[in-house]
């Protein structure tokens, strides 16, 4: 097991309905040392890629992406927003995504000022399940003429289809922990061998 899998076993909580709660270290309280380890690992896995920008999505991707950026020459981090704000004027890239957690459709928005053909993008997010949010981000990068150099995820739910689909499209998708099964009765989490 790697450091993230060990942490999930130690502090993650399995709930009914295939919910894995990691809110004590990943997406409500955030363990900055863990994020730093994640940054080191992503830097290793994407070391041949000319990454100059990180793209993530609010809210729980932002903390991870910001610390990960320290391992990619402190490159700028852009976070996609989930609803139109009056502070977002000018032209923007938009994509529709479905939220598993909130059970609704969101518009994902990135200002055109912050993504363009010169950008070599690493997409970072905390969770990958059905891949809807990720597809929205990829769509936005493509609309801008930028390149998706890689995708770094903390926890992938391997029993949902998002990861397979994204890999089939040819992207280098690196998930630090891939959960293939979990059992709410015993609390056991089964990780995919990587």
**R_g over Cα of the chain:** 16
Q: Which residue in the set 4, 8, 14, 78 belongs to the binding site for a second copy (CB under 8 A)? A: 78
Q: Is the peptide bond before 59 cis (omega within 30 degrees of 0)?
A: yes
State the sign of the Cα–Cα–Cα–Cα dihedral 170, 171, 177, 180. Answer: negative
Site string for a second copy, 112-141 (x = CB under 8 A): -xx---------------------------
Nearer to a second copy, 58 or 118 (CB): 58
**Could you say whether residue 147 binds a second copy (CB under 8 A)?**
no
Nearer to a second copy, 33 or 190 (CB): 33
Q: Which residue has the tokens 């994407």?
A: 46
**Could you say whether residue 95 binds a second copy (CB under 8 A)?**
no
SS (H, E, C) 38-87: HHHHHHHHCCCCCCCEEEEECCHHHHHHHHHHHHCCCCCEEEEECCCCCC
Of 75, 38, 83, nearest to 59 (Cα)? 83
**Could you say whether residue 23 binds a second copy (CB under 8 A)?**
yes
**Could you say whether residue 91 binds a second copy (CB under 8 A)?**
no
**Could you say whether residue 31 binds a second copy (CB under 8 A)?**
yes
Judged by the rule CB under 8 A, the positions of this chain that interact with a second copy are: 15, 19, 21, 23-24, 28-33, 35-36, 58-59, 62-63, 65-67, 69-70, 74-79, 81, 85-89, 101-103, 110-111, 113-114
């Amino acid at each position: 097991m790697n450091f993230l899998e060990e942490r999930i076993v130690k502090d993650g909580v399995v709930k009914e309905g295939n919910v894995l709660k990691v809110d004590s270290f990943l997406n409500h309280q955030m363990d900055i040392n863990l994020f730093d380890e994640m940054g080191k690992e992503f830097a290793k896995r994407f070391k041949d890629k000319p990454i100059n920008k990180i793209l993530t999505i609010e809210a729980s991707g932002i903390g991870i992406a910001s610390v990960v950026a320290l391992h990619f020459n402190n490159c700028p981090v852009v976070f996609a927003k989930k609803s139109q704000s009056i502070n977002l004027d000018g032209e923007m890239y938009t994509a529709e995504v479905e939220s598993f957690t909130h059970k609704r459709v969101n518009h994902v928005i990135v200002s055109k000022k912050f993504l363009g053909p010169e950008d070599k993008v690493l997409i970072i997010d905390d969770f990958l399940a059905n891949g809807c949010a990720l597809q929205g981000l990829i769509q936005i990068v493509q609309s801008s003429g930028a390149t998706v150099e890689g995708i770094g995820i903390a926890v992938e739910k391997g029993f949902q289809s998002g990861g397979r689909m994204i890999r089939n499209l040819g992207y280098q998708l690196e998930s630090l922990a891939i959960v293939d099964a979990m059992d709410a009765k015993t609390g056991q989490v089964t990780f995919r061998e990587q």
